[in-house]
Structure 1
Amino acid sequence: MTTPKIALGTWSWGAGFAGGDQVFGNHLDPQGLRVVFNAAMAAGLTLWDTAAVYGMGSSETLLGECLRAYPRHQYLLSTKFTPQLAGGGDNPVADMLDQSLARLGTDYVDYYWIHNPTAVNTWTEYFVPLLKRGKVKHLGVSNHNLQDIQRVNETLAKHGVRLSAVQNHYSLLYRSSEKAGILDYCQNNDIAFFAYMVLEQGALTGRYTAATPMPAGSGRGDRYNPILPQLEPLISALHQIGQGHAASVAQVAIAWAIAKHTLPIIGVTRASHVEDAAKASKLQLTPEEMARLEILAASANLDTRGEWEQSMN
């Protein structure tokens, strides 16, 4: 099936460690998420991204319950191998994948990722038999710098397979993968670049201001609430540009990322998020609008790199 221009993320669906309640301050109703899921599928947004570590499996479980209502050929699945959770079996990658497949209710995934560069390249060869058997259709690496990406790709080439995707933090506020040459490397080597945190966990949606901050005590509230005042000029420009396209602030920020030749991953917890993603996939910004946004984003002079991320430079 054709890959959509946007993937839908379910990081915030899970609960507990690295789940939506702790990171985002969310308390989500599974039935409400099913409504969101069905709306997305109806809109042609059929690429879903999750990870074993999101809520320690609870995100995958919730997503799997939604997927069971649809034939397997109607959606694409992306989940992740997290090195820190690896067991001691003969193939810890295969073991973690099997656990994810059971939660998701499928026998293969379209994208399987090395979630971070812990013991970089240690895990690469474990993926080879999974790729050759079709349990993993495409292998990607996440939170890897250019040198790490090249090492993994070179190792795979020795076995007649290749790296298909890179997934890194990328937004108007955080363009380190672009500055480090990773986007160019991906385009030159037919590697898809998945951009996560395109909306900076909601900071680039226009919903949150100093007067209406993110949930207190959440991971994102602690990170972004102090800098919301510095984002006001950029948010204002996103709003003004959006008015010219009958688009929201979030839709313009997503459209910018698509125009930079990336595939954004947009977290969805409500129907409006689905609408943002669907409209953004059709929105085309002018070069002047792109330049204006990039100048204002740079002038904010913010570093939104997460504590789990290594420097790309």
Structure 2
Amino acid sequence: MAPGQEILQAGLAAGMSATQGIHSPKLKPVDPLKSDEPYILPDNILPDTQSKLSLRGTTHDVLVPYMCIGAWSWGDTSTWNYSPDEFPHIKEAWEKLRTAGLNWIDTAEAYGSGESERICGKLFEGLDRSEFVIQTKWFSVPNMTNLLSQSSAPVKKLRESLERLKLDYVDVYLVHGPVHPSTISTVAKGLAECVQSGLTRCVGVCNYDKDDMIHMIDALAKHNIPLAINQCEYSVVRRHPETHRLIRACRERGVVFQSYAPLAQGRLTGRYSQGNEPPKSYRFSSYPIQELETTIAVLRRIAEKKRVSISAVALNFNINKGTIPCVGIRSLEEAEQNMQALGWRLSPEEIRHVESVSLEGRKTVLFQQG
């Protein structure tokens, strides 16, 4: 069987990404009537690098910062062309972020076919377990283990992840997508076993729509376990979870909404332009860069006024909209640019300006249902 990273990239090319494969990349502006208020995060909260929020667990809640470090690129060659020469730069960025208070990493068994988890394990060497927060994901595609083991598959796969991480438990364990061959009730039973066995403190899902998320909440409740997170793609150019009230539904039920690809895989950083397109393997929010020029120009003007990076403006937008961004970081420079998103807030007028050049995005039947 192909390694997890190759399966993931092949799936995205085939239509798991809402702007690739069988799906139209045509732009879809956001209807202003579908926008939530500018501030979904209460206006009396001003997150900085030391600020924390709680993820609900059964016996232990987990305190996390308002930004998560995305580790998909670490060890992944199919999408990100990772080279071992990058490790010192990743470690330097990690030390900068961790000492500042941003100590939460998101990885998965599929990222680099387990290599991302191994890299995380190296970063954790010598640290006290209280000094970092780690979440990983069960790759829930219909492979042999997931077909034959059903409810025990999450536990089996989590134990393998823990071996790569060199840890006794993770803080958060997520279902990577709604493509599992088992029913939601069966998956909930497997997640419950992960918690009851002490292998994770919190559980969550990725790419679930509102109805399936509520179904999972109800299924987990039968085991007296809360759902902590729903992680979906959300950015200035993919506001679908907001316009379809998924973010609102999460807040109403005490579920943290975590946004992946909040910078549209680099497209909202100012790094790319016509003639310097992102690699074709960067498939989330993969609109042609020339069609995003107006959006990027608005972010750039605000960034210049605030004296922060363009990335910081895009991430600050996410935070104001009630999401916790999970942003990929491969260097100290990226870490410093992204940290600039904290300690201040866009004004409601600036948020509306960004919204006026934002895109709704789409979902897919295969993967991105949320």
TM-score by length of 2: 0.77
Counterpart residue number, 1:186: 250
Superposition pairs for residues 47-196 of structure 1, below 5 Å?
47-84=104-141, 85=143, 87=145, 88-89=148-149, 91-118=152-179, 119=181, 120-121=183-184, 122-196=186-260
The reply to whether residue 24 of structure 1 matches residue 88 of structure 2 is no
Higher share in helix: 1
The answer to whether the 8 A contact 1:6-1:45 is kept is: yes
The alignment partner of 2:224 has SS state of coil
Q: Is the 8 A contact 1:86 1:93 kept in 2?
A: no
Separation (CA, whole Å) in 1 of partners of 2:283 and 2:246: 29
Aligned equivalents of 1:209, 1:293: Cα separation in 2: 19
Q: 2:323 aligns with which of 241, 245, 262?
A: 262
Of 280, 297, 308, which residue of structure 2 is paired with 1:236? 297
Is 1:43 paired with 2:100?
A: yes
* Offset from partner CA, 1:97-136 (integer Å, 9 cap, x none): 0111111111111110011112351311111122133321
* SS of residue paired to 1:55: helix
Partner secondary structure for residue 261 of structure 1: coil
Report the count of equivalent residues. Answer: 301
Check if 1:284 corresponds to 2:342. Answer: no
Amino acid at match of 1:47: W
Letter paired with 1:6: M
CA distance in 2, matches of 1:33, 1:49: 14
User: Equivalents in 1 of 2:363, 2:161: separation in Å?
Assistant: 28
Kept in 2: contact 1:6–1:277 (CA 8 A): no
8 A contact 1:170–1:177 mirrored in 2: yes
- Report the Cα distance in structure 1 between the residues aligned to 2:284 and 2:325, rounded to whole angstroms: 24
Q: Which has the higher contact order (CA 8 A, sep 6+)?
A: 2
Which 10-residue stretch deviates more, 111-120 or 235-244? 111-120
Q: Which amino acid aligns with 1:189?
A: R
Q: Partner residue of 1:274?
A: 335
List 4+ stretches of structure 1 deviating above 6 A. none
Cα 1:69–1:78 shift into 2, 3 Å: same
Cα deviation digits, residues 28-61 of structure 1 (max 9, x gap): 5222222222122122110000000011101111
Instruction: Provide the TM-score with structure 1 as the length reference.
Output: 0.90
| Unaligned stretches of 5+ residues in structure 1 | none
Q: Do the aligned partners of 2:264 and 2:285 also contact (CA within 8 Å) in 1?
A: no
CA RMSD of aligned residues (A): 2.1
CA distance in 1, matches of 2:214, 2:289: 36
What CA deviation, in whole Å up to 9, does each residue of 1:174-233 have, x standing for no partner?
111112221111111111111000001000111100132224xx4027973x61111111
CA distance 1:129–1:157, shift in 2 (3 Å): same
* d(CA) in 1 for partners of 2:367, 2:265: 15
Paired residue type of 1:131: V
1:40 aligns to what SS in structure 2?
A: helix
- Conserved? CA contact 2:72–2:108, under 8 Å: yes
Aligned match of 2:265 in 201, 208, 225? Answer: 201
* Contact 2:264-2:284 at 8 Å conserved across structures: no
Query: In structure 1, how many angstroms separate the alpha carbons of the residues matched to 2:341 and 2:203?
Result: 27
Shift of 1:13: 0.6
In 2, distance between residues paired with 1:25 and 1:308? 25
